[in-house]
Amino acid sequence: MRKVFTLPDAGEGLTEAEILTWRVAVGDTVEVNQVIVEVETAKAAVELPSPYAGTVVELLAEPGATVEVGAPIIAIADGAEEPAPPAQEPTENADPEPDARVPTLVGYGPKPGSSTRRPRKPPRVGAPGTPSRDVQHTAEPVEPAAPRTVPLAKPPVRKLARELGVDLAAVRGSGPGGVITREDLQDGHTPVPVPARRGGERREPIRGVRKATAQAVVSSAFTAPHVTVFLTVDVTPMLELRDRLRASREFAEVKLTPLAFAAKAVCLAARRTPEVNASWREDEGEIVYYDHVHLGIAAATPRGLIVPKIRDAHAMSLRELAAAIGQLTETARAGKTPPSDMVGGTVTISNVGVFGVDTGTPILNPGETAILAIGAIKQAPWVVDGELAVRTVCQLSLSFDHRLVDGEQGSRFLADVGALLADPGLALTY
């Protein structure tokens, strides 16, 4: 029996996804829960497992195509015989029923291991240029309409093809099973004009994570009145404590970074200024104050900016926060962050300092009230006990929603975060 797998809802009300890469080809045998395709939603890349076991008979969506939830993407045959259709008297130019299957004749059609697929909607039987139903039951094979071909290539190769302006359908793959390699694109290919490249320009469709990010920041910027305050902090004591902890056995297996200290400081400071850990609900006419901190960590990935969350960060120790940040970052860079990990945040940290930037004015995540940006940590002249010295300093900036947080509250919160970074021992008093 032929079973068709439709694109499932990856969660959080997403309505569509882009096919990134197929992990199987026509003719492959698959098992239940075997990953068969990787798709990119508006929030993240997601691996989809097969709900069926059997043989892949058709790929119904090409890599790069955007499909809606519920649309068929792959057909799998389980080997069981389908019930024979009732006998019908063949007629010339007869139209099939809307869902009738046209038999595949021996001698043409998809071959095992190939990536050829027929059009999603089979040509109307009896239409000009197509065989009628009675002809298809003869012993002579009839040449079908030209099928569409899904070129076999890995995502990096597809990206290179877009940059070069090369149509993969016009490239002969030299890799195993006809897979197109980088060398195939760079050695003797014939560029095919495509709309994506025009004289001195490269154009890409707005989709995926970039589209979702654009919608989110525009909505936030023109909904919540942003205010940003700045503070420069001497973080020398924090770095000294970090070096001591790194040498201890407890922190031997985690990567302890300044971001972990900032995360702990934000969670502690939010206790004294709960307004920054809240949400303005315009439609409901309410302000929601959270007794937990679901801390968002802005992460730059090859697909764009995402903000996965550390759930219940307020209840974690410094070591637990360091481990959670390390795991979160590794997962994000691999493009494996599930959509469910990127919703429900209460406050966010953006570490722009890793790019050598001193400071910035971050935009709030929709639904949140505050976002802290951490600038580059570097040496600078600093006055200590009335004397000029070289210290390690860092600039902090906090953007907040002025509908909910007043200047006094936002400034106090930022001052508390700065004080905890300048003197980590203060954490014992919170």
d(CA 426, CA 195): 59
Longest dimension (CA), the chain: 103
Q: Is 129 exposed, middle or buried (0-12, 13-18, 19+ CB in 10 A)?
A: exposed
Q: Which residues pair with 39 in a beta bridge?
A: 19, 46
d(CA 252, CA 236): 21
Strands 66-68 and 72-77: unpaired
Find the helix or strand (DSSP H, E) in which 380 lies.
strand 378-384
d(CA 419, CA 105): 77
Which residue shows structure tokens 């990119």?
A: 40
d(CA 231, CA 394): 8
Active site residue 402: yes
d(CA 346, CA 295): 6
> What three-state secondary structure class fits 53?
coil
What does the chain come to in residues? 430
The DSSP output letter for 340 is G
d(CA 69, CA 10): 9
Which among 343, 307, 349 has a CA at the least distance from the CA of 328? 307
Question: Looking at 226, 292, 314, 402, which residue is catalytic?
Answer: 402
The CA-atom distances, in angstroms, between 230 and each of 170, 180, 261, 358, 389 are 55, 51, 18, 11, 22
Find the helix or strand (DSSP H, E) in which 322 lies.
helix 318-333
Which residue shows structure tokens 């406050």?
A: 347
Q: Which residues are catalytic?
A: 402
